[in-house]
């Protein structure tokens, strides 16, 4: 049993570390295991043991604890001590609409959703990452009309699917402004597809295949992968017959004045389910998707990572499922986030994710070219600029409180002296360089009496709090908690660099200090990976 991970540690007096453990919280419960805890992985004599108001506190001898911590190379969460672990979790995130721009809201969803999936996996849950792509509705009809007007063939779309479908959609919409027949044709195409009267669906399936190929290439640059790609069209009206029949058999549906099928959630709250022409709505398809996923995966939690403007939509979704007596409706959770203000590219023209990423990469490369400490070649084979740029944007986003709007500033995001992703990468590279170039052999055994300096205790306390921070971040689903911790860790590592020389010291001092820095590097790298960063060894 690994209990140290869950402790808050401080040094109140020389030679002793003081631990504080809440015995019961939302995520873990030690209340009935005090004796087991005290005899688990704390090997030294304990002192000043007290239990008061569900708070356990005790002291551990400094040298015993440092030896144990560094030799174990920091502790990993024992997820069996969590109240809620080894659960089936679905995270639906990113979810752009094909034939429409991949805008910055989708980028936030991608960054935050990836973190939620990462931290759930790290803590022992069985995670399925789903990208639920919008490919249905009247937008499909407009896209199909635009394809016909543009004389696109499969080869055109295969070479650049996302941009081709978008251009077709824009052309049809613009033409519809002066020709109402185009809008009517778009709605007719969609209705025929919904009701199975059209054979064009196979062609649309081919377009989607090309789209996924494009998206995977772009997601690969951010280090994002999905277990499954789902489509709104999986839940078109012909596939929702069972769901609609269930609603009708439960007498949940009625007709409104516009001849739509609606569901009444309360006296003043009536929600459309089927349009007057018999086609489905986005909400209807989400109901079908939720029911289908529960049947397939029996999830314990499903997170929808979507901006907070969609709060009403998800409230309605959950209320409808409750009306349908789906007891698992409470397992659905909308992970809301705020808007990014001001993150247009410097040219102001990028509307696709790959264009945004190219702009980010160019800014990072300019910074590298200007820096006198750049260690990489910056040739075509080097991808450090891509990784640095993405790190800057990810950390600039995740250091904010999730539900707050924030203003993006290029200079702030890429400032190596500020609290940025570039700074985290710099500290990690510095630690990698130390291990590679110090000429010191990394030891497997720790002799804590050699590590006497006060900054050692500062670094040990921060390293020890890593898992506690991870649990807090998991509990609140707030990545900024972990980001703030990594900034503090990086600051203390840099402070330790000033005091704890590795080169030029006697062998016993050098290798012990290297061991301390090695463990700090591993903690920093693990935290960066949870946030979606790829730790660099040089930049």
Number of neighbouring beta carbons within 10 Å of residue 178: 7
Known catalytic membership, residue 275? no
- In the numeric block, which tokens belong to residue 331? 């397992």
Rounded Cα distance, 137 and 190, in Å? 7
Rounded Cα distance, 439 and 434, in Å? 9
Rounded Cα distance, 49 and 56, in Å? 7
Known catalytic membership, residue 334? no
Active-site entry in 67, 75, 106, 521: 106
Active-site entry in 26, 76, 87, 103: 103
Closest by CA position to 82, among listed 28, 35, 36: 28
Active-site entry in 100, 323, 334, 538: 100
DSSP class per residue in 493-528? HHHHHHH---TTS-HHHHHHHHHHHHHHHHHHHHHH
Give SS3 for 323: helix
DSSP H or E run through 59: strand 55-61
Known catalytic membership, residue 106? yes
Give SS3 for 273: strand
Rounded Cα distance, 400 and 406, in Å? 7
Phi-psi region of 10 (alpha: psi -120 to 50; beta: other; left: phi over 0): beta
Contacts for 73 with CB less than 8 Å, ≥ 6 apart: 518, 519, 522
Sign of the alpha-carbon torsion through 215, 395, 86, 132: negative
Catalytically active residues are 100, 103, 106
């Amino acid at each position: 049993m690994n209990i140290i991970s869950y402790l808050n540690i401080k040094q109140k007096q020389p030679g002793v570390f003081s631990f504080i453990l809440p015995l019961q919280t939302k995520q873990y419960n030690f209340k009935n295991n005090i004796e087991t805890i005290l005899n688990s992985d704390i090997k030294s004599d304990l002192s000043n043991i007290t239990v008061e108001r569900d708070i356990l506190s005790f002291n551990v001898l400094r040298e015993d604890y440092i030896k144990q911590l560094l030799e174990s190379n920091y502790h990993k969460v024992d997820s069996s001590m969590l109240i809620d672990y080894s659960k089936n979790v679905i995270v639906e995130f990113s979810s752009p609409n094909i034939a429409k721009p991949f805008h910055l809201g989708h980028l936030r969803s991608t960054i935050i959703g990836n973190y939620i999936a990462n931290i759930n996996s790290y803590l022992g849950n069985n995670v399925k990452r789903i990208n639920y792509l919008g490919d249905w509705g009247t937008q499909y009809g407009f896209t199909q009309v635009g394809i016909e007007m543009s004389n696109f063939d499969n080869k055109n779309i295969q070479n650049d699917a996302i941009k081709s479908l978008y251009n077709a959609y824009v052309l049809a919409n613009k033409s519809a402004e002066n020709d109402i027949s185009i809008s009517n044709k778009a709605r007719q195409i969609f209705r025929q597809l919904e009701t199975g009267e059209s054979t064009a669906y196979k062609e649309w399936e081919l377009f989607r295949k090309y789209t996924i190929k494009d998206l995977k290439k772009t997601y690969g640059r951010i280090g994002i992968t999905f277990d499954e790609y789902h489509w709104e069209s999986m839940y078109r009206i012909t596939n929702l017959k069972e769901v609609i029949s269930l609603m009708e058999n439960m007498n949940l549906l009625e007709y409104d004045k516009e001849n739509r099928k609606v569901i009444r959630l309360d006296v003043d709250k009536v929600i459309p389910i089927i349009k007057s022409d018999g086609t489905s709505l986005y909400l209807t398809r989400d109901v079908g998707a939720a029911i289908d996923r529960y049947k397939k995966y029996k999830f314990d939690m499903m997170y929808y990572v979507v901006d907070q403007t969609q709060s009403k939509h998800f409230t309605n979704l959950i209320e409808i499922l409750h009306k349908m007596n789906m007891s698992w409706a409470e397992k659905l959770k909308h992970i809301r986030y705020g808007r990014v203000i001001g993150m247009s590219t410097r040219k102001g023209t990028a509307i696709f994710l790959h264009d945004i990423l190219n702009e980010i990469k160019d800014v990072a490369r300019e910074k590298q070219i200007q820096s006198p400490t750049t260690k990489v070649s910056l040739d075509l084979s080097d991808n450090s600029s891509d990784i640095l740029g993405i790190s800057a944007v990810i950390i600039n986003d995740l250091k904010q409180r999730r539900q707050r709007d924030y203003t993006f500033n290029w200079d702030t995001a890429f400032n190596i002296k500020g609290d940025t992703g570039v700074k985290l990468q710099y500290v990690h590279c510095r630690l990698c360089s130390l291990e590679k170039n110090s000429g010191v052999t990394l030891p497997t055994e720790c002799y804590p009496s050699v590590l006497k300096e006060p900054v050692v205790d500062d670094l040990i306390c921060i390293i020890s709090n890593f898992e506690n921070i991870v649990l807090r971040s998991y509990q609140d689903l707030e990545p900024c908690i972990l980001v703030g911790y990594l900034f503090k860790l990086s600051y203390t590592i840099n402070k330790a660099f000033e005091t704890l020389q590795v080169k030029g010291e006697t062998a016993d001092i050098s290798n012990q200090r290297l061991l301390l820095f090695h463990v700090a590097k591993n903690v920093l790298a693990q935290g960066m990976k949870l946030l979606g960063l790829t730790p660099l060894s040089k930049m």
